Structure 1
Amino acid sequence: MTQYEKQIHHRISRFVPEKSIDLAFNLWKEKPFRFVIAKARNSKLGDFRKKPSEDWAIITVNENLNPYSFLITYVHEVAHHWVFEKYKGRVSPHGKEWKNAFKELMLPFQTAEIFPENILKALNFYMINPKAASLSDIPLAKALKAYDPANPDEISLLELSQGEKFMLENRLFEKQETRRTRVRCKEVKSGKYYLVHKMAMIIPE
Structure 2
Amino acid sequence: MLPVAVLENAFVQLEPFDEGNKDAVRAALDHDPEAWDGMVTAAYGPHFDAWWDAAIAAMRSQSRIAYAVRRKSDGVIVGTSSLYEIKPEHLRCELGSTFYRHDARGGAVNPATKLLLLDHAFGHGMVRVEIITDALNVVSQSAIRKLGAVYEGRLRKHKRTWTGRMRDTEMFAIIDSDWPSVRAGLESRLQSGFKS
TM (norm. structure 1) is 0.27
Say which structure is richer in strand.
Answer: 2
Q: Which has the higher contact order (CA 8 A, sep 6+)?
A: 2
TM (norm. structure 2) is 0.28
